[in-house]
Structure formats: C-alpha cells, structure tokens
Amino acid sequence: MPNTRIEAVLQAIGDGAQLEQLASDLLQREGYNVNPTGTRGPDNKRDALLSRNDEQGILHCSISQDLENKLRNDAQKAASRNDSYDIFIFATTQNPSGSKRDRLEDEISDEYGWRVQILDLQRLRNKLQGNPDNHDLIRDHLRINPNRAFEDPEEDAQEFYQSRIEELQAYNGYYGSIEPEDDLTGREERPILTVHMIPAEAFGSDHDRLGSELPDPPGFRRSGYTQQYGDFVITGDNNGLNGENPFTSYACFHEDGWAEVVTVDILPQTDNPELTTMIDKYVVDFVEDALDWYAEVGINPPFYTYLTVLNAAEYTIYVPKPIWGPHNRREIGDDVFRFGEIRIDRYDTDVPTILQQPLYRLWMRTGWPGSLHYNEIKENGEIRYEWDPRD
C-alpha cells in the first residue's frame, strides 16, 4: 500500500482524463508536442499523439487495475492505426514491480518495434517530486503541497481522528456541544455514533477552497439545516446550529476536506440499554452521499474512513419483535468501540460492500451472527453479501 501522500493520491486517481492531463503536462515538459486525438474510451481517457524532433509516438493512459491486459490491448489498437510510431508511452496509476515493468516494455517493444515506456506510479511520482520544475504540477493536478507530498497521510489522519474521539467522548463537538441526556430513559450519557472521513490531501493540501463557499453537505441520520462558519460548514439540527442547545446530530465538513459526523439519536423506544438496528443504513447512506459531495467539490480520494461508537460499553443491539435475535446477546464492552477503519479509493466505490465487514464487526460484538441488512448468499462454494436494508 502507498505510504506517502503523493503515492496515495496518484493511485486513487479515478478518472483516466485526469491522468491523461497529468501525463501530457509531464511529457510537454520533456519536449514533446502532445495532441489529443479527441476520442474517449470507456475509462474516460483519450489517446494522444506525440512528436519530438523527428520522432512520432502515441500516449495511452489507463486507470484499469488489469495492467498487463490493458497494456497489450492498447498496444494492439495503436498498431492497427494507419500511422507509424517510434515510441509508445503507457501511463498508469498501477505500481508493478520493476522487473515486471521492464519485461512488459521489452515484450511490447519486440512485438511492434517501438521504444516503449510505462509511466507507472513510481515513475510518475519520481518525475513530479524529483524535479522542482514539476512541483507546480503536484499543486495543479493533485492539489497537495510538494513540501508535504512525502508525508504519511494515514498517520496524519489517525492523529487527527484520535484527537477528535477524545473530544467527542466528552460530548464536545467540533462546533458546540453534543446532547448527552436522554429524556426517554433519563440516562445522563447517551451513546454516540460517529463517522470520520479524511482525504489523503487533508493537512497537506494546496487548495483555494473556502468553507463559506462549500455546497451544503449531506445530513447524518436526518437532513437538518445548514450553516457556514468561515472555514467549515455544518448540516445539523436547528437547536444546535442556533447555539441555544447542544446538537443531537450534525455533519461537519471542513475546507481542508475532512468530515466529522455525529448522532446520539440511535436509541430505539425502549428502556433498555440498546442501540437501533438502523445504524447500518445510517452509515451506508451517509458515506454514499459524502462521496457524491466530495466528487462535486473536487476533493480527491483516497478517504481514510473511521466508524466508532462511543460511551456504549453497557449497550447491545435491539431485537425487533418480528426477528429472532441471538440467544445470548452481549454488551459492546468498550466505551470507544472502533468497528471500522477502511480506505475508500474511488468516488464510485460500492459502499455497502466495502462497509460489510466493519458493520458485521459491530453486530457480532453484541452476539449476532451478522447484520440484518445483508443477505448471505452462497454460490459455487463462496459466500457473498447482498445489501438489502430493512425499514
């Protein structure tokens, strides 16, 4: 896995056109004339014709994970054109071993008689970071500060997440406070469900975003109202936003890119220390909406995502009346229960699938065999999980 900010953002480029723009600018810096052909492929990329001195070439770009097959297919397409080439350049966000990259270059060169260059993640990174004249491209295409490009974004994300968890456990929101009391049961400390999404570019970004100009973020648990606060924007319940009372739910998105969402509205209408069975749906719906919001704003993946339940050590998960629950339900047993730490690499990620294991972790902690919101399907000796949220 990439462990630097520049590697993480490069590998998570989810648009072949964005990769093509980056590769084209790099090649122009090396003296090539780059002329896109104007035809777009299924991964939203274009071929580009190259020329330098007396050489003619072609650039193909791909975000496909199937590097070898995509390379061979694109080389065959280039060879089928009426033009004659001296060089074939293939840009990819994949990171093959050096030996595999060299082998593929030699095989394509032997087959078609071209000079072949694979611009993989390692070479793209080196061209960007190793040449100070290209640092502006790091800012322009990846929106990260070149001086922080080699820091570990996950380490920064973990440090920020931990600092926020310590505050949230004490019912201190990022802005204002969180309502600890439950009028229904009289408990003075309600459990908190929280989701943090932290992009790799956060804390190392070179952006010109203003929190006051951000679009309204999605709500968490309910839609709520939205207000801007200079460097961040919050969607939450009106009592919290007007400062008269603590929040029961909010979704805070900062101009640096990170999001913190919180709700204490996760208790069913019972007197027992139980959590609602709807946590799965709240989390999946929010993450899907958040990825759409990030795509609209133009904040790049990957997103380090953390799912946590706070102050719920004595709680279990409620058993709805039509459902047969586990014979021996258990308490969560931990006042800081981290049931999900995942990395989301694409805007179009299948959110229910990537969240299945974290959500199961919460259910299984309380004695359930799995979540009520997934169907377990066995096919050809393998098990897959189908998202089927209950009302």
Q: What is the DSSP string of 181-195?
A: --TTT--SS--EEEE
What's the DSSP call for residue 230?
A: S
pLDDT in tens, 174-225: 988 998 887 666 677 899 999 999 999 898 777 788 888 899 999 888 767 8
Rounded Cα–Cα distance for residues 176 and 240 (Å) = 7
Q: Token pair for residue 346?
A: 């694409």
Rounded Cα–Cα distance for residues 150 and 338 (Å) = 28
Average pLDDT over residues 334-358: 96
**Full set of structural domains in the chain with CATH:** 5-148 (3.40.1350.10), 153-387 (no CATH)
Cβ(173)–Cβ(262) under 8 Å?
yes
pLDDT in tens, 258-277: 999 999 999 988 888 999 99
Q: Does residue 121 surpass a pLDDT of 80?
A: yes
Cβ(213)–Cβ(196) under 8 Å?
no
SS3 sequence of 24-83: HHHHHHCCCEEEEEEEECCCCCEEEEEEECCEEEEEEEECCCCHHHHHHHHHHHHHHCCC
Residue 230 is predicted with a pLDDT of: 87
Average pLDDT over residues 304-328: 91
Opening angle at CA 138, ends 56 and 228, nearest 5: 135
Label residues 338-372 b or e (16+ Cβ within 10 Å = b): ebbbbbbbbbebebbebbbebbbebbebbebeebb
Residues comprising the chain, all counted? 391
